[in-house]
Structure 1
Amino acid sequence: MKMLLKALFVFGVSLTVVHAFEDKTIAQWLTDNGYSTLVSLLKQAGLYDVLNSPGAYTLFAPSEAAFGKVPQSLLSTLQSDNALLQSVLKYHVLQGYTLSPTINNGAAKTTLNGQDVTFKVFANRTIMVNNAVVKSGSSDIILNNGVIHVLDSVLLPVTDKVGEILLKRNDEFSTLNLLLTITDLAPSLLAGNVTLFAPTNDAFNRVTTQLPNFSDPGAIDIYKKILLNHVVNGAVPSSALSNGQTVTALGGGTLQVGIDSNGVSITPTGSSISGKVTEADVTAINGMIHVVDQVLVPAKL
């Protein structure tokens, strides 16, 4: 409770804009107020006791109606995969008290599963968390170990790795997927933490005549070098890219970043061919994908 009062003081939050304090834990309040699906899932995931213990947590609690919008197939998957269930539920929890008057439009906060949620705040103070709306009159429920904001939808974190996203979007990336398999580089996109500048099928079609046949001597090594020229270490969002920046690819070559009124382009050092980023910030649990419209062939193979 002292932590709550300190938070209210620091942020200058008037007690008139929040619910009256209830001397219950988050877990107790959910149980007492009919959040049976959420309570059941929290117990299964071993998180009910966490929200029933001393601490300071902010829970974005999906209503019963919110769970009713989740396809039964997905709900069954969550109930049969405890690690995935924990990840999804932790995506609804922040450390500490986060009261609605302290939330700014465009702000992002890191959840207990390590991924961020992003907030939208409208002129009437309606708040969205990702694509879920905080229900009117059901925010800032102050309890002795945290605060609850009730949501109209369940938040779903990113659960796919870079390689898995490419496979799910195989209609766009079938050539890239084939080459990653042939060169045995696909596992590298399922592990580690990487950013991939992913050429589409159309991008490969533009350079078909410039690439070797698989049967040519050394062809696999050439394709491997080309593909590694599209991958850099770490998750690099578009917001971290700047005009004139140089990034080093896993193949040892470098890429030049260009940013102008037409968007973001990526150019292999020494090459005259630039790939335009046509889709940025496709987020994976082990990195990031930026879709490009050209194959980033190194200047020297």
Structure 2
Amino acid sequence: MSSSTYEHFEGCVLCGLIDTAISSGIFKIWTKLIKKSEWFQLLDNGGFFTLFIPTDAAFSRVPPEYLQALESNPEELNDFIDHFIVPEFASTKVHNSHYSSIAGDDLLIESNLSGPSVNRVSIKIENIIATNGMIHAVDSIDIFNTKKN
């Protein structure tokens, strides 16, 4: 794992994506949002996905009104979450690689001396393995800054 604010991951071992995220203790806001979305059942029970999940520290920099608007509008919430889900294995070990989010964003994983990033957003904890995918903890909600044409 990269050197970061978070020394290491202390969460559920051999759990699905949702339980792994919940057990980490650093994704409380994302967990609250995902439980209200259409993604909750799918991410809890099936598929194989890579999630770029903003930490609670990342969400703390978002205006509360924005989060309230997401929570009250299921369609907007689902569209928001689509930006953070890749329907395949997206490891940070494959540097300078492009992946597409469900929303169609081009997500570029890079690595330099300060650690891995996705679209220049720092990945605080990388390659957290779950039984149905992988999680990368990111320090901003702004990972979807480029779109594929």
Under TM normalisation by the shorter chain, which class is it? 0.7 to 0.9
Matched, 1:134 2:123: yes
Do the aligned partners of 2:95 and 2:111 also contact (CA within 8 Å) in 1? no
Stretches of 4+ aligned residues off by more than 3 angstroms = 155-158
Asked if the contact 2:58–2:139 (Cα under 8 Å) also holds between the matched residues in 1, the reply is yes
CA distance in 1 between counterparts of 2:102 and 2:40 reads 14
Any stretches of 5+ residues in structure 2 without a counterpart?
1-8
The 3-state SS of whatever aligns with 2:51 is strand
Measure how far apart 1:120 and its partner are. Answer: 5.0
The 8 Å contact of residues 92 and 155 in structure 1, kept in 2 or not, is answered as no
**Structure 1 unaligned blocks of 5 or more:** 1-18, 159-280, 288-301
Provide the secondary structure at the position in 1 that maps to 2:39.
coil
Report how many aligned residue pairs link the two structures: 139
User: Which residue is 1:27 aligned to?
Assistant: 18
Residue 149 (1) aligns with residue 136 (2): yes
The higher relative CO (CA closer than 8 Å, separation ≥ 6) is in 2
Amino acid of the structure 2 residue aligned with 1:47: W
Q: Which residue of 2 aligns with 1:267?
A: none
Q: Is the 8 A contact 1:54 1:145 kept in 2?
A: yes
**TM-fit CA distance, 1:131:** 4.0
Sequence identity (%) = 23
Alignment partner, residue 102 of structure 2:
112
Question: TM-score, with normalisation over the residues of structure 2?
Answer: 0.80
Comparing both structures, which one devotes a greater share of its residues to helix?
A: 1
Map of 1:1-301 to 2, 5 A cutoff? 22-34=13-25, 35-104=27-96, 107-113=97-103, 115-119=104-108, 121-124=110-113, 126-135=115-124, 138-155=125-142, 157=144
Q: Distance in 1 between matches of 2:76 and 2:144?
A: 10
Contact kept in structure 1, 2:118 and 2:143, CA below 8 Å: no
Describe the shift of the 1:125–1:103 C-alpha distance in structure 2 as closer, same or farther (beyond 3 A).
Answer: farther
After superposition, what is the alpha-carbon deviation per residue over 1:15-61, rounded to whole angstroms, capped at 9, x for unaligned?
Answer: xxxx8x93100101112222221111001112122111122110011
Distance 1:32 1:153, change over 3 A: same
